[in-house]
Amino acid sequence: MNHRRIDVRHHILPRTTRRTFLATTTALACPAAFARVGRAAGTANDRVGVGFIGTGNQGMGLLKRFLAADLGDVVGVCDVNRGSLGYKEPDHFYGLEPAAALVAQMAGAKGRPTACGVFDDFRRVLDRTDVDAVVIAVPDHWHAIMTVMAADAGKDIYCEKPLSFAIAEGRRMIEAARRGGRVLQTGSHERSNPVSRFVCEAVRAGRIGRVERVVTKVGYNNKTGPGPGWRPMPVPPTFDYRRWLGPAPDRPYHADRCLYRFRFNYDYSGGQITNFGAHSNDMAHWGMGIDTGGPMEVECLEAKFLPAGSLFDTAVETRFRCRYESGVELICESGPESVQTRFEGTGGWMQTGYRGTTASDPALLDGLPPKGTGSDDPHTRHLANFIDCVRTRAEPAAPVEVGHASAALCHAANALIRLFPETGPGHVARWDAEHDRFIDDDAANRMLVPDRRDPWS
Ligand SMILES: NC(=O)c1ccc[n+]([C@@H]2O[C@H](COP(=O)([O-])OP(=O)(O)OC[C@H]3O[C@@H](n4cnc5c(N)ncnc54)[C@H](O)[C@@H]3O)[C@@H](O)[C@H]2O)c1
């Protein structure tokens, strides 16, 4: 059986930091004090100490939201880039020093502690006893290593989507989080968007009848990068390229390989299939009622790549199809929408994404809530949900198994997309979602295993 609802009886252990240890031991001596260790106590002791690892495009956005909503204390920031212009946009100035300055400014303005640790090695963040939880917003090829080490160090984890870089890593992340009783929130913030929740739950509840087809969109690769014959560049003195590469193959430096644009290179990510696909396909699974598991068949219908020798090697345009045991067909295709999920059922259709929410009949959207903006935006809600769960030990909105199932679907599709120049259309691969592998398809299975370098392999 491929599709299982997630078992919410997993054990999430109470936080065992220095502060909760002290609070708990005080509570043993003085039961009245125990009430202070809890969700709504509102004392300085209840504030969650968080380390932010990766302070680039997404990490800075999360840090800003965390500080603006005063969700806890930022006790550490970590990045291998001291600070530079040129992330998603040329004028974006991010990295370690801008992050530390942001904490000083925003926490200071709220009268909160501003003395946070500043690190270029994430292991030093994990060493700290005042770090209860970490927010991991580094390129995908680092997600699993940092998550497993953080879980083993007793930290709760907010790990950006896609949960994993390679399929086997997802299983290791599940094991580490569950073994350690850690809270793990996958950064699929649509799970905390009331609009997405409304649509997915309405579809699950049968509002459009029986779902027959789901069409998801992922944006085109919107950056083309240097073409064949590109030349390496000198590494800036403010950037630790060796640490950035970590487990990835040793390649000559080029600025377009790293900040933000890493997602267009298979050594570090999976292109838009794992970037936007981790949202749109995650919503597809959500509406289809699949919390774990995946399709039984995957087929690449179309894949276009840049010329051989280009720095970016991920597909610029793609289309793939999956079939599920329930009979549902999922089509995922490149488009201008970046993130969109459309559910087609026997009684109509509903779609939602970054460009809004529509339906075959407006009555299907009766009760649609507002999206939430500013301090109530889905990213802030998702972070707040994580911090709540750190305190209450409840399951977060996007648990590790859910993050794995969505990432696994994207990785399986990418394996066939990468083989497409050899196979052409018509290569239908059978997928064993229980074991995250193709059935009797060695070539496709080989594509699931990435190159890793010691000591991180
Ligand atoms: N949820 C969302 O909507 C959303 C949006 C954007 C990005 N993301 C995810 O966030 C992650 C980061 O993406 P981004 O756009 O911020 O990339 P980015 O390149 O802008 O930022 C990543 C940062 O991590 C740093 N870094 C790399 N290796 C490191 C290491 N070993 N230790 C510490 N820091 C390290 C880099 O120097 C960089 O500053 C990706 O997994 C991406 O998919 C999620």
Residues 416-457 pLDDT 10s: 999 999 999 999 999 999 999 999 999 999 999 998 898 887
264 pocket-lining for ligand 1 (C-beta < 6 Å): no
Task: Compute the distance from residue 278 Cα to the ligand 1 centre, in Å.
Answer: 15
295 DSSP assignment = -
Mutate to test the pocket of ligand 1, among 84, 138, 158, 254 (most ligand atoms within 8 A of CB): 138
For the chain, the distance separating the N- and C-terminal CA atoms, rounded to the nearest angstrom, is: 32
- Identify the weakest region by mean pLDDT among 37-51, 175-189, 217-231, 326-340: 37-51
Residue 59: what pLDDT?
Answer: 98
Q: Could you count the other beta carbons within 10 Å of the beta carbon of residue 25?
A: 11
142 pocket-lining for ligand 1 (C-beta < 6 Å): yes
Helices H, strands E: what count in the chain?
14, 17
160 pocket-lining for ligand 1 (C-beta < 6 Å): yes
Residue 11: what pLDDT?
Answer: 53
Residue 12: what pLDDT?
Answer: 67
98 pocket-lining for ligand 1 (C-beta < 6 Å): no
Q: Residue-wise over 31-43: b if at least 16 C-beta within 10 A, else e?
A: eeeeeebeeeeee
410 by DSSP, 3-state: which? helix
Q: Could you count the other beta carbons within 10 Å of the beta carbon of residue 10?
A: 14
Quick: pLDDT tens for 262-315: 999 999 999 999 999 999 999 999 999 999 999 999 999 999 999 999 999 999
Task: Compute the distance from residue 59 Cα to the ligand 1 centre, in Å.
Answer: 6
276 pocket-lining for ligand 1 (C-beta < 6 Å): no
- Identify the weakest region by mean pLDDT among 60-69, 215-224, 236-245, 340-349: 215-224
Segment 394-420 mean pLDDT: 98
Task: Compute the distance from residue 143 Cα to the ligand 1 centre, in Å.
Answer: 10
In ligand 1, the atom with minimum distance to the C-alpha of 88 is 20
Quick: pLDDT tens for 1-54: 344 444 434 456 666 443 433 332 222 222 222 222 222 333 445 899 999 999
H or E segment and range at residue 125? helix 122-127
321 pocket-lining for ligand 1 (C-beta < 6 Å): no
320 pocket-lining for ligand 1 (C-beta < 6 Å): no
- Kindly provide the residue ranges of all beta strands, DSSP E only, lying in 276-432, ordered along the sequence: 297-304, 317-323, 329-335, 339-345, 348-353, 356-359, 428-432
H or E segment and range at residue 438? strand 437-438
pLDDT at 332 over 90: yes
The percent of residues in the chain predicted with pLDDT above 70, rounded, is: 90
Q: Could you count the other beta carbons within 10 Å of the beta carbon of residue 280?
A: 31
Give me the phi and psi of 414, to 5 degrees please: -60, -35
Task: Compute the distance from residue 142 Cα to the ligand 1 centre, in Å.
Answer: 9
Residue 14: what pLDDT?
Answer: 65
Quick: pLDDT tens for 180-208: 999 999 999 999 999 999 999 999 999 99
- Amino acid identity, residue 411? H
146 pocket-lining for ligand 1 (C-beta < 6 Å): no
CA atoms within a 13 Å half-sphere pointing along the CA-CB vector of 6: 21
CA atoms within a 13 Å half-sphere pointing along the CA-CB vector of 283: 34
User: Considering the chain, what is the average pLDDT of its residues?
Assistant: 90
187 pocket-lining for ligand 1 (C-beta < 6 Å): yes
H or E segment and range at residue 23? helix 18-29
Using CA atoms, how far apart are residues 182 and 414, in angstroms rounded to an integer?
Answer: 30
57 pocket-lining for ligand 1 (C-beta < 6 Å): yes
243 pocket-lining for ligand 1 (C-beta < 6 Å): yes
- Kindly provide the residue ranges of all beta strands, DSSP E only, lying in 40-192, ordered along the sequence: 49-53, 73-78, 84-85, 93-94, 117-119, 133-136, 156-159, 184-186
pLDDT at 56 over 60: yes
